[in-house]
């Protein structure tokens, strides 16, 4: 499958999802990037903007198995991974799969579960497997987690540990729809919810083929150096306590290839890297307390790094951005 075919698959899925989720083309494309990279997505936004509907619409559009886990403080790790149950007829313990055993898993309000339960997803997200009573069980392919959380309400929540945040390929926000989009949403739901009649748009086999095609997208050496330089720069910014990890470099590398394929190209450009830098790196950066007092967050830091770093084949313009001191290598 060539990049044009990948673009065709993405267009079919995107158009189908937009029958339900109005005016969120970029957000839909970011989820498609994660699907093509077999990565996971953290959707962070206020209630009622369509986070859960987006996950359900994507699952129906690609024909994948779908399970939903409603995270609550009393949820146990075994409620996620499954348990071994003794079968009296056979005299053996049998594995009863938990809801994590699906191709697309919606982890709803993931920050409401305790850290112990959140940790039950770590092995699944990184290695596509779960271990129960010492026995490892492979998860179906492709395996993707779409997690949601409300960044406004903190009562009864447990912040995600950095180790788990680092396992999400992309963090994104839905945002409110525009005025026209909200009016269109009202019109579409006049008689019934469009999700009820949403049909499959592509075969799951087509998605797997597209995933293989993305791995063939070419990344020139200067682009690879640009990606590494951006990630390294987050580690030297004056407002940063902890910069992006090497997993962040790999995430930006793979996401840029998927973004290029979604636009019908078999090679990555600097603009592809720029488009995916904030969704793939910002949640891996920890801003120091002094910067937080000044309302500087990780997204601002990534913007600073993008403004500072020379683009391959272009000359840098302007002075170094705010917050960039002597510790910044710049290249």
Residues of the chain where predicted confidence (pLDDT) is lower than 50: 315-331
pLDDT tens, residue by residue, 1-33: 676 788 888 899 989 998 888 888 889 999 999
Contact criterion met (CB below 8 Å) for 120 and 80: yes
Query: What is the gyration radius of the CA atoms in the chain, in angstroms?
Result: 21
Please give the pLDDT value at position 272.
94
Closest CA to 281 of 300, 307, 309, 296: 300
E strands present in 169-261: 170-172, 240-242
**Which residues on neighbouring strands pair with residue 148, listed in sequence order?**
43
Please give the pLDDT value at position 151.
76
Estimate to the nearest angstrom the gap between the alpha carbon of 163 and the chain centroid: 15
**pTM for this predicted structure:** 0.85
Q: Tell me how far apart the alpha carbons of residues 321 and 5 are, in angstroms, rounded to a whole number.
A: 40
The CATH H-level superfamily of 3-212 is: P-loop containing nucleotide triphosphate hydrolases (3.40.50.300)
What fold, for 217-308? Helicase, Ruva Protein; domain 3 (1.10.8)
Name residues whose C-beta falls within 8 Å of residue 98's C-beta, 6 or more positions apart in sequence.
Answer: 78, 79, 80, 81, 82, 83, 130
Within 13 Å, how many C-alpha atoms sit on residue 263's CB side? 13
Burial class from Cβ neighbours inside 10 Å (0-12, 13-18, 19+) for residue 285 reads buried
Q: Tell me how far apart the alpha carbons of residues 321 and 296 are, in angstroms, rounded to a whole number.
A: 13
pLDDT tens, residue by residue, 229-238: 999 999 988 8
Residue-level length of the chain: 331
Domain boundaries, the chain: 3-212, 217-308
Closest CA to 129 of 161, 148, 207, 121: 121
């Amino acid at each position: 499958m060539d990049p044009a075919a990948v673009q065709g698959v993405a267009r079919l899925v995107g158009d189908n999802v937009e029958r339900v989720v109005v005016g969120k083309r970029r957000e839909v494309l970011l989820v498609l990037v994660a699907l093509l990279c077999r990565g996971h997505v953290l959707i962070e936004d206020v209630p009622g903007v369509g986070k859960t509907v987006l996950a359900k619409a994507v699952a129906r559009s690609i024909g994948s198995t779908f399970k939903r886990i409603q995270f609550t403080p009393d949820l146990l790790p075994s409620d996620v991974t499954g348990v071994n149950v003794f079968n009296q007829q056979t005299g053996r313990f049998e594995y009863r799969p938990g809801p994590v055993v699906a191709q697309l898993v919606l982890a709803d309000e993931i920050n409401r579960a305790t850290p112990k339960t959140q940790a039950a997803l770590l092995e699944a997200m990184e290695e596509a497997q779960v271990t129960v009573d010492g026995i490892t069980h492979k998860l179906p392919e492709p395996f993707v987690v779409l997690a949601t959380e409300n960044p406004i309400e903190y009562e009864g929540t447990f912040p995600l540990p950095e180790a788990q945040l680092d396992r999400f390929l992309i963090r994104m926000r839905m945002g409110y729809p525009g005025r026209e989009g909200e009016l269109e949403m009202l019109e579409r739901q006049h008689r019934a919810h469009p999700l009820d009649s949403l049909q499959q748009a592509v075969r799951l086999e087509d998605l797997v083929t597209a995933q293989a095609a993305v791995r063939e997208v070419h990344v020139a050496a200067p682009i690879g150096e640009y990606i590494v330089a951006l990630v390294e720069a987050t580690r030297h910014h004056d407002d940063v306590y902890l910069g992006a990890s090497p997993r962040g470099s790999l995430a930006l590398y793979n996401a840029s290839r998927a973004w290029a394929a979604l636009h019908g190209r078999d090679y990555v450009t600097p603009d592809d890297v720029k488009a995916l830098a904030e969704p793939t790196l910002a949640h891996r950066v920890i801003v120091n307390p002094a910067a937080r007092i000044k309302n500087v967050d990780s997204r601002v830091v990534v913007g600073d790094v993008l403004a500072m770093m020379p683009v391959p084949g272009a000359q840098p313009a302007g002075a170094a951005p705010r917050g960039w001191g002597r510790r910044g290598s710049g290249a």
